[in-house]
Amino acid sequence: MIAPFTTAEQSGRYTLTRPVSQDEILAMAKCLIQRRFNRGRALTSPAASKEYLMLQLATLEHEVFCSLFLDNQHRVLAFETLFVGTIDSASVYPREVLKRTLQLNAKAMIFAHNHPSGISEPSNADREITRKLIEGLALIDVRVLDHFIVGGDSVVSFAEMGWM
C-alpha cells in the first residue's frame, strides 16, 4: 500500500500521494500531533493542548476521561485514556488516577474528556470530579494545570474559565 502523504524534512509541508478519505486525514493528523507531543516535548500553551486534545477526542462516540501526565518542566510523559464510559457519562475514580500518577512519577496533570453530544459546556459533575482530583493530587504534591472538555469542534478550558 502506498503511504497517503510524503513530508519535506525542513519545510513542514506535506504532499498527498493519492486520494484520501476523511478517516485517513484524521489518522494522519493524529499521527502528526503525536509526533509533536512525544515524551520530552513541553506543553507551552492552552492552545497547543486544545489542538492536541480535540484531535484525540472529538470524533469518539462514547465518553472517555484522559490525562496528560507531565514532568516538572511540563514535558509530556504520557497521554492515556484512564476511563471509558457510555454515550453520556464516564465514571472517574480518583484513587486510580493517583495510582497511575505515582507509577509515571508525574509532577503535573492536564485532564480532558469529551462530550459526544457535541456540547462542551461543563456539568456540575465535571466540576466536582475536577475538584476532588485537584484535592487528591495536591496531597502527593502534583499540580493539576487544566481540565478540558471537547465537544465536537469546541473545547472548554477550566483554567480559562477561572475554575483552576
Q: What is the pLDDT of residues 65-74, one digit of tens each?
A: 999 999 998 8
Domain of 23 in residue numbering reads as 1-36
Stronger pLDDT, 123 or 43, i.e. the higher one: 123
Q: What is the pLDDT of residue 88?
A: 87
- Cell numbers 459546556: residue: 121
Q: Domain check: are 48 and 22 in the same one? A: no
> Are residues 110 and 62 both part of a single domain?
yes
Q: Do residues 81 and 105 both lie within one domain?
A: yes
pLDDT at 10 over 70: no
- Whether residues 51 and 96 share a domain: the answer is yes
Q: Residue for cell digits 465535571?
A: 126
- Under the banding of pLDDT at 50, 70 and 90, the label for residue 142 is very high
Residue among 124, 50, 42 at smallest CA distance from 75: 42
